[in-house]
Amino acid sequence: MTEPAGLAIPAAVPATDLPADTETYDVVVVGFGIAGGCAALEAARAGARVLLLERAAVHGGTSSMSGGHFYLGAGTDVQQATGHEDSVDAMVRYLMASTKDPDEEKIRAYCESSVEHFDWLEALGFRFERSYFPGKAVIQPGTEGLMFTGNEKVWPFREDIPPAPRGHKVPVPGDTEGTRIVMDLLRERIDEAGVEVRYETGAAQLVVTDEGGVAGLAWKSFDATGFVRSDAVVIAAGGFVMNADMVARYTPALGSKLFTLGSTYDDGLGIRLGQSVGAALENMEEPFITAPFYPPSSRCKGLIVNRDGQRFVAEDSYHARTSYHVLQQPDAVAYLIVDSEHLGEDHMPLVPLKDGYETVEEMEAGLGMPAGSLVATVERYNEHAAAGEDPDFHKHPDWLAPQTAGPWAVLDLSLGVALYAGFTIGGMATTVDGEVRRSDGSVVPGLYAAGACASNIAQDGAGYCSGTQLGEGSFFGRRAGVAAAARAARRATVSPSGR
């Protein structure tokens, strides 16, 4: 049976086949998003001669489409300025507790270097505003530099781990312009560092030595093709959400009922290039899927029920955690019930208003729920909320309020009704320095990966925190760039020709 085109693995090119006059660089980076840009910059600053390839006509990649959060903590200047205590230990413990299969070495490295990474990002030429947004939102509506973008205040995490907000956003009101600012500054720093950037040029195949190491790549730009020799290749070419064949194989939940979050070039080619030289893959079955029902924040004080009228998740959860649990319900049907006092203006159109009801009994019948089920759920919720308690799901007291001011609104969180969106999380297995691993745990010499085509600390949709992709992409991109440059320097020392 023929393999679908989207799963095809490009054939590696033997290094012995390269022409004698093949151009040579110390490090070649594939992809100019946040991870590739940071890798190229750090490799160049470490003394390497760097070539950066980007298939698009401009820099930015999917990073420029993101919400603009960087997940950072352990005592950044913004946290300190806004009175939020945080520590390496608390950050490590939270990420370990909220991730399904955590990589402690990577998490610890990320947390221990978080303040330094914050400073490095600001040194690109921008400044996070020293201010805090206390509400629930996907993106701060203003220029506030800090907010909660995970489940740090959600039970059970808050019980033993002091919660701290770690979502740092570039100061642009409520859209993605902040990330574009960062990418533009990164481009300027890359130009200053002497990196050669080629747009509309992509990697087509990896070049492999007789020993199985990577020694360069084949490139393609429109009808032109060629080769580059290098001591190290860093792949930072995005995820695979735009590849229907890969999605069908690995993450079928990202199917026809969802809006995909990605660029044209999130086609999994970087991952398949890694496979061509033996890269192992991790967490490929884990998607990030969400349909936020807030803002306004007041809606978090309502209650979410399934088709049987039963609650199943704390409504103050981060929106992706809520969506994860919605998709586990019978037929992926769920409703947010909120009274007139807490409905607010309809700012979040992804979750539509289904209907309004004068009584809870009328609502129960209108939604086709078992007799008495919703009435009992609402009565129990209201009784405990009035006392500032939630014995069933332990919602934080900040988001508890009786829903007694009729009429009541029902917002439809069901899959196929609400607009769920998602992207892929899995990718190549790597070391903490971005070295690509084989299935036996050994590394592929000369090959590094970072960003959405690598598996790092964001390993499952339920535990995801906004800002993790930009945070880990930039951080592990930097580490990969430094490690790649160090490899090139070592090889130059061994061989006077540098090869």
Residues 9-44 have pLDDT tens digits of 999 999 999 999 999 999 999 999 999 999 999 999
Average pLDDT for 469-488? 97
Do residues 88 and 120 both lie within one domain? yes
Q: Which residues pair with 345 in a beta bridge?
A: none
Same domain membership, residue 151 and residue 22: no
pLDDT at 151 (0 to 100):
95
Could you read off the pLDDT of 391-418 as tens digits, one per residue? Answer: 999 999 999 999 999 999 999 999 999 9
334 with 348, same domain: the answer is yes
Q: Which helix (H) or strand (E) holds 235?
A: strand 224-235
> So what's the pLDDT on residue 147?
96
Distance of alpha carbon 145 from alpha carbon 152, whole angstroms: 17
The Cα 224–Cα 36 span in angstroms is 23
Least confident of 216-230, 279-293, 366-380, 448-462: 448-462
Q: CA 145 → CA 117, 131, 153, distances in Å? A: 16, 5, 18
Which backbone phi and psi does 86 adopt, to 5 degrees? -150, 160
Domain annotation covers residue 4: no
181 within a domain of the structure (yes/no): yes
Query: 19 and 165: one domain?
Result: no
Find the CATH number of the domain harbouring 256: 3.50.50.60
Residues 125 and 241 in one domain: no
Kindly state whether residue 269 falls inside one of the protein's structural domains.
Answer: yes
Number of structural domains (the chain) is: 3
Q: Which of 126, 143, 169 is the last residue of a domain?
A: 169
Segments forming the whole domain that contains residue 363 = 292-418
In the predicted model, what is the mean pLDDT of residues 73-87? 98
Can you give the pLDDT at residue 307?
A: 98
- Same domain as 304, residue 236: no
| 258 and 225 both lie in a single domain | yes
Q: Using CA atoms, how far apart are residues 235 and 144, in angstroms rounded to an integer?
A: 33
Give the end of a domain, one of 131, 150, 169: 169
pLDDT in tens, 415-442: 999 999 999 999 999 999 999 999 999 9
What CATH number should be reported for the domain holding residue 354?
3.90.700.10
Q: Where are the beta strands (DSSP E) in 6-47?
A: 13-14, 23-30
Picking from 144, 169, 194, the residue at the C-terminal end of a domain is 169
Examine the domain organization and report whether 409 and 486 are in the same domain. no
Confidence bin at 496 (pLDDT 50/70/90): low
Instruction: Tell whether 310 and 389 lie within a shared domain.
Output: yes
In a domain, 1, yes or no: no
Residue 380 pLDDT greater than 80, yes or no = yes
Residue 143 in any domain: the answer is yes
Note whether residue 3 is domain-resident.
no
Q: Specify if 228 maps to a domain.
A: yes
Q: What is the mean pLDDT of the segment spanning 93-104?
A: 93
Residues whose CB falls within 8 Å of the CB of residue 114, separated by 6 or more in sequence, listed in order: 72, 73, 74, 76, 88, 91
Same domain, 284 and 296: no
Do 406 and 429 belong to one domain? Answer: no
Within this chain, do residues 60 and 204 fall inside the same structural domain, yes or no?
A: yes
Least confident of 150-164, 171-185, 286-300, 469-483: 171-185
Give the chain's mean pLDDT: 94
Q: Is 383 a domain residue?
A: yes
Rounded to 5°, angle at Cα 470 from 294 and 40: 160
What whole-number distance in Å separates Cα of residue 270 and Cα of residue 112? 29
Q: What is the pTM (predicted TM-score) of this model?
A: 0.94
Reported as a single tens digit per residue, the pLDDT across 217-248 is: 999 999 999 999 999 999 999 999 999 999 99
